[in-house]
Amino acid sequence: MKRALPFLIIAAVLVAAVLVAWNLKQSAVETPVAAPTPNPSHSATPAKAAEPGADPPHALGDAKAPVTLEEFGDFQCPPCGQFAVFVEELLREYDSRLRVVFRNFPLPAHENAREAALAAEAAGFQGKFWEMHDTLYREQSSWSKAPNARELFESYAGTLGLNMDQFKKDMDSDKVKQKVDSDRALGDSLGIKVTPMLFINNRPLEPQQKNPEGIRAAINAALNEKTQS
């Protein structure tokens, strides 16, 4: 019996070791490991999306035209006034192949530009946006530096046959300000600093392209792309 005792002790120790190992394995299976807490400083920063502009935008031409020329303009900007005349020529020349979109982008340096944009949008609520657009550019030299620009805008509205009470109310309304501010926010998100800023099928024109030949060349290139696609 004394000779067998050491063997019995060793056997007992081995059995105990096996039982301990089995219990540890079960604990590892049944107890889930907590996921690491994400570090906020390592979170990915979402890319800034372009701000949406006024919807629907003011547009001329066929809605299904293969080429869209989008302008961000300022009514007190002389080059914008010159471009407005050229747009009429482009629409006649390209007919159903061209759509033109106008968005307000009044520059802070032009003291009456924002109010002119409000006047155009207020006229738009009575279906006369483009008529006011053309009048503002045609009369640009008269109201640009006038201390009573608002009175001149109201006189233009009267000439266009608008309901004057409604026009005055709309010029001061949040809905009109929101349309101007939405376009301005979109322009800011695109990095626009000067006017007119032109896009053809969402591609910005370079400064050296902002002339009749450059604009026509860009439109023709866009038409060719549509034909080949």
Q: What is the pLDDT of residue 120?
A: 98
Cβ-contact 67, 94 below 8 angstroms: yes
Picking from 128, 110, 111, the residue whose alpha carbon sits closest to that of residue 119 is: 128
Residues 122, 104: Cα–Cα separation, whole Å: 13
Q: Are 161 and 171 in contact (CB under 8 A)?
A: no
Residue type, 182: S
Q: Alpha-carbon dihedral of residues 68, 125, 167, 146, nearest 10 degrees?
A: -10
Specify the pairing of strand 58-61 against strand 67-73: unpaired
In this predicted structure, what is the pLDDT of residue 1? 44
The pLDDT of residue 52 is: 81
Per-residue pLDDT of the chain (229 residues; tens, 9 = 90+): 444 444 444 444 443 443 434 343 443 333 333 333 333 333 333 334 567 888 889 999 999 999 999 999 999 999 999 999 999 999 999 999 999 999 999 999 999 999 999 999 999 999 999 999 999 999 999 999 999 999 999 999 999 999 999 999 999 999 999 999 999 999 999 999 999 999 999 999 999 999 999 999 999 999 999 988 7
Residue 41 tokens read as 């400083």
Q: Alpha-carbon distance 186 to 73, whole Å?
A: 12
Question: Cβ(94)–Cβ(172) under 8 Å?
Answer: no
pTM of the model: 0.77
CATH for 58-228 is 3.40.30.10
**DSSP assignment, residue 38?**
P
Contact 196, 175 (CB under 8 A): no
Who contacts 44 (Cβ-Cβ below 8 Å, separation ≥6)?
Answer: none
In degrees, rounded to 5, the angle at the alpha carbon of residue 203 between the alpha carbons of residues 197 and 207 is 45
Domain boundaries, the chain: 58-228
Collect all residues with Cβ–Cβ distance below 8 Å to 208 and sequence separation of at least 6.
214
> Pick from 111, 108, 176: which is nearest to 149 by CA?
111
